[in-house]
Amino acid sequence: MTPPRRKRRRPQHPSPPPAPAAKPAGGAEKPGNPERLYTIAGSADGKRAELDLVTLIVARSAPPLSASPEVAAVLRLCTAPLSMAELSAYLQLPFSAMTVLITELIQAELVQARAPIVRQAAFDRSLLEAVMHGLQRL
């Protein structure tokens, strides 16, 4: 039996680096991210609502025509309750920017924030009756 023949790998030459982009006439370079977070979530007073990652956000109305793309996206997504963590992930914005954005929407009464629904708070009556009957049989 003869061993398999292997092909030798030839070293590949790296491609030349791309040519540097021309700088604008003013000398200032354009940032990589065209919109800074403070323009998306521009708050004048800096106050924020008490929100955490599991706070549910529900839209109260449809997005107005004058709404920014982020506000319109939040209002469209929140027709059903969504947590702050989900909104932050869907819009690819950090939680801090989402907090400021949602605070502005709460103040404008476009969304409502509510605590998550805790399923353990409501007792299952059939389970309690089964336990009671089991104890009575003892």
Residue-level pLDDT at 11: 65
Helix (H) or strand (E) holding 100: helix 95-107
- For the full predicted model, state whether its pTM sits above 0.85: no
For the chain, which ranges sit under pLDDT 70? 1-4, 6-47, 117-122
Phi and psi at residue 25, to the nearest 5°: -60, -30
Angle among Cα 47, 77, 55 to the nearest 5 degrees reads: 45
Sign of CA dihedral 9, 13, 15, 17: positive
Residue-level pLDDT at 28: 52
